[in-house]
Amino acid sequence: MNYAPNSAAARDIANVLHPYTNLRKHEEKGPLIITKGQGVHVWDDQGNRYIEGMAGLWCASLGWNEEELIEAAVKQMRELPYYHGFTHKSSMPSIDLAEKLKSIAPADFSKVFFVNSGSEANDTQVKLVRYYNNAVGRPEKKKIIGRIKGYHGVTVAAASLTGIPLNHKSFDLPIEGVRHTDCPHHYRYAEPGESEEEFSTRLAKNLEELIIKEGPETVAAFIAEPVMGAGGVIVPPEGYFEKIQAVLTKYDVWMIADEVITGFMRTGNMWGSQTFGIRPNTLSCAKQLSSAYLPIAAVMVDDPIYQAIADESKSIGAFGHGYTYSGHPVSAAVALRTLQLYEERNTLAHVQAIYPAFQKRLKALADHPLVGEARGVGLVGAVELVADKPSKREFAATDGVAAQCVEFAQAHGVILRAIGAGAVTICPPLMIEEGQIHEIFDALEKALDDTDGWVNKKGLR
């Protein structure tokens, strides 16, 4: 496309290096420039309105014009716009937020470490695994097992835990000491006739075999999202985490729960760990922690881990890890206000009241000729588009079918996301109303019909 030389689109193309974007395609296609938001809606610079069916990147839980959060930020900026937590310093928002987070956490955590993003949280997890095991005198126990299609971020260590080729290829990742076990996607990877329970048993057995092969004395931790998000919204099969947890306990391997997407009610409970019976030793959370109004994330650790790293810090001189903006007072104040608003407005009851309608509309899409599977839990879901339903044959990645479906949905006024060759994901703000859920699915149904026609016209079956 040709953009006027001084248009915002031309300036974007000339100046911005975009994350997660096919950069050559971007030079042709240009950006969708979002200029304002209100409630679940955002507007582009041409005045088109969309429902943000992904809450941005699975994060803007309270929608786009929450005055309470803006006020919390302004108030904190006026009082103390910045301070840090190094060398025995502190500030009130991080104290209040740490206490609040522990009080609502899904396990008995001892301490909260603040960071600025999910990637930094998981990078911190890797460093904690190393620091802890050095502290307790077993320096050989350092390996971390992630999962194929797991997503844990993009910094060097977090991207290594991630099990998605796009995040490794050409970046020379993963780093040493990371292994990946099976993706728990029953629809894709179960043997013919294998029940969910049997599939879970097999995956737990494979995990056990991997730990034995590596040597249990070398395997320190397992990291998992309760529901895989960026891998395509993969909901664990029956019995999965129960069986995985048993293996981890047997070999003294930590469970790291990556609740960056699932934390704060996304799955219908406060935490995905509660929905799926996960017993984490440490936990990462981010995104809906501040409704995405400011960057903040957190790692929570249990007491045995805290005690060991505290001793180690004493013998070394300090716990030599921390960011300039760890516990940034403005971000922490906004996060604290977010958690208060969830309580004041009883967001959990709201989510529990509306998610059945969301799941009903989602699951009904399984009847569509293009949809191989419609899966989800709480207020998150995905449809998987397939070239042939009985054989589950996928479209080629280069066909861009899911991306095309998302384009059609956008033309019908709803922003969704395409993942890989076939998944279209939906993850609206938690404060969405039931009527707006129907608007999303009405648009997606039309988009699926449009895509079906497009696929036929292009002869992609």
Q: From the CB of 115, what's the least distance to ligand PMP, in Å? A: 9
Beta strand spans in 85-177 (E)? 109-115, 143-147
Inter-helix orientation angle 196-214/240-250, to 10°: 20
When binding is defined by CB under 6 A, the residue of 61, 117, 281, 451 that contacts ligand PMP is 117
Q: Which stretch binds ligand PMP (CB under 6 A): 41-49, 75-83, 224-232, 437-445?
A: 224-232
Torsion sign over Cα 31, 32, 36, 40: negative
Nearer to ligand PMP, 13 or 423 (CB): 423
Tally of CA atoms within 13 A in the half-sphere of 73 that contains its CB: 16
Q: Torsion angle, CA of 59/63/69/74, rounded to 10 degrees?
A: 100
**Residue nearest ligand PMP by beta-carbon distance:** 118
Residue 339 near residue 104, CB atoms below 8 Å: yes
134 class by beta-carbon count within 10 Å (0-12 exposed, 13-18 middle, 19+ buried) = middle
When binding is defined by CB under 6 A, the residue of 64, 151, 241, 358 that contacts ligand PMP is 151
When binding is defined by CB under 6 A, the residue of 98, 204, 261, 308 that contacts ligand PMP is 261
Q: From the CB of 460, what's the least distance to ligand PMP, in Å? A: 29
Is 141 among the residues that bind ligand PMP (CB under 6 A)?
A: no
Backbone φ, ψ for residue 196 (5° rounding): -60, -45
Q: From the CB of 254, what's the least distance to ligand PMP, in Å? A: 17
SS3 for 76? helix
Q: From the CB of 152, what's the least distance to ligand PMP, in Å? A: 5
Q: Which stretch binds ligand PMP (CB under 6 A): 151-159, 331-339, 432-440, 450-458?
A: 151-159
Q: Which stretch binds ligand PMP (CB under 6 A): 113-121, 274-282, 363-371, 393-401?
A: 113-121
Site for ligand PMP in 268-287 (CB under 6 A): 286
Is 119 among the residues that bind ligand PMP (CB under 6 A)?
A: yes
CA distance 382 to 374: 6
CA distance 294 to 47: 25
When binding is defined by CB under 6 A, the residue of 123, 225, 373, 394 that contacts ligand PMP is 225
Task: Note the residues at the interface with ligand PMP (CB under 6 A).
Answer: 57, 117-119, 122, 151-153, 225, 229-230, 258, 260-261, 286
